[in-house]
């Protein structure tokens, strides 16, 4: 999508606020003993209250309003009767459509106390996304995102999952440009004013690849391996981008 009119920018910001409210309601509700289905119901209710529709359900008939992934599950985890446990890394990914506009965000965090390395990987991927956002400008190479994210991952000793990508968004959940946020010297595409896209790297301590599980949705690294994601939707401008899910 190319968002340059005030109507489009406002529409995306409204969708982003609806997504953010649902995510925060879920993060604040997450606690040991709660099932992921119960957590998903919190997000579904928040989206309904804001007049928004779950994008995974709308576009892909996903069996949940949101994606909730635990520990080695990197993405697309299906809400279920599985209970959250103290020390779990939980990833909540919320995307929604509101009045024809779509926004997408996600975050990994630790339920309960956890251990320092769990908190470190979550904080590092979050910092990498913020650093990449600060580099986004119209006219710059799309690779500025991957280069910045790669530098942060390498400095912290993490791998980037190479078969999970970021994407354009705005009118549907997945649009051009599709890209992996990793340094790529062959990247020839350029960021343009009004471009709407996500930045959503996945960092891992030992894996650079995910495998689809038997349920046909969940994407996981090997058991015992750490993985964490962070994601925002933004609109490219001539200056600082507009982060609609902030």
The pLDDT of residue 199 is: 98
Q: What is the pLDDT of residue 168?
A: 98
Mapped onto helix, strand or coil, the DSSP state of residue 83 is strand
Q: Where are the domains of the chain?
A: 6-243
Question: Three-state DSSP class for 73?
Answer: strand
Whole-number pLDDT of residue 184: 97
For residues 246 and 232, give the distance between their C-alpha atoms in angstroms, rounded to a whole number: 7
pTM: 0.97
- Asked if residue 75 lies in contact with residue 93, where contact means CB atoms within 8 angstroms, the answer is yes
Q: Residue 24: its pLDDT value, please?
A: 98
Contact 239, 84 (CB under 8 A): no
Q: What is the pLDDT along the chain (246 residues), one digit of tens a residue?
A: 999 999 999 999 999 999 999 999 999 999 999 999 999 999 999 999 999 999 999 999 999 999 999 999 999 999 999 999 999 999 999 999 999 999 999 999 999 999 999 999 999 999 999 999 999 999 999 999 999 999 999 999 999 999 999 999 999 999 999 999 999 999 999 999 999 999 999 999 999 999 999 999 999 999 999 999 999 999 999 999 999 999
Instruction: Give the domain 6-243 fold.
Output: Creatine Amidinohydrolase (3.90.230)
In whole angstroms, what is the distance from residue 166 CA to residue 197 CA?
Answer: 8
Q: How far is CA 189 from the centre of its chain?
A: 22
């Amino acid at each position: 999508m190319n968002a340059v009119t005030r109507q489009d920018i406002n529409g995306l910001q409204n969708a982003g606020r609806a997504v953010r409210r649902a995510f925060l309601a879920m993060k604040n509700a997450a606690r040991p003993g709660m099932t992921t289905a119960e957590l998903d119901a919190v997000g579904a209710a928040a989206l309904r209250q804001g007049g928004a529709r779950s994008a995974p359900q709308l576009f892909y008939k996903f069996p949940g309003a949101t994606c909730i992934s635990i520990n080695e599950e990197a993405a697309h985890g299906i809400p279920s009767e599985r209970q959250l446990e103290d020390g779990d890394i939980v990833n909540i990914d919320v995307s929604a459509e509101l009045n024809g506009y779509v926004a997408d965000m996600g975050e990994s965090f630790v339920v309960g106390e956890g251990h320092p390395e769990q908190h470190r990987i979550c904080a590092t991927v979050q910092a990498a996304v913020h650093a990449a956002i600060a580099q986004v400008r119209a006219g710059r190479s799309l690779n500025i995102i991957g280069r910045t994210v790669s530098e942060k991952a390498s400095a912290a000793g993490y791998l980037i999952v190479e078969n999970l990508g970021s994407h354009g968004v705005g009118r549907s959940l997945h649009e051009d440009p599709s890209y992996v946020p990793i340094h790529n010297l062959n990247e020839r595409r350029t960021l343009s004013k009004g471009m709407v896209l996500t930045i959503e790297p996945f960092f891992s301590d030992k894996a650079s690849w995910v495998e689809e599980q038997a349920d046909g949705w969940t994407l996981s690294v090997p058991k015992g391996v750490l993985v964490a994601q962070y994601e925002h939707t933004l609109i490219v401008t001539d200056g600082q981008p507009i982060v609609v899910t902030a």
